[in-house]
Chain A
Amino acid sequence: ETGVTQTPRHLVMGMTNKKSLKCEQHLGHNAMYWYKQSAKKPLELMFVYSLEERVENNSVPSRFSPECPNSSHLFLHLHTLQPEDSALYLCASSPQWFIGEKLFFGSGTQLSVL
Chain B
Amino acid sequence: GESVGLHLPTLSVQEGDNSIINCAYSNSASDYFIWYKQESGKGPQFIIDIRSNMDKRQGQRVTVLLNKTVKHLSLQIAATQPGDSAVYFCAVVTNSGYSTLTFGKGTMLLVSP
Tell whether A pairs with B.
Answer: no
Instruction: Write the residues of chain B forming the contact surface with A, with a CB cutoff of 8 angstroms.
Output: none
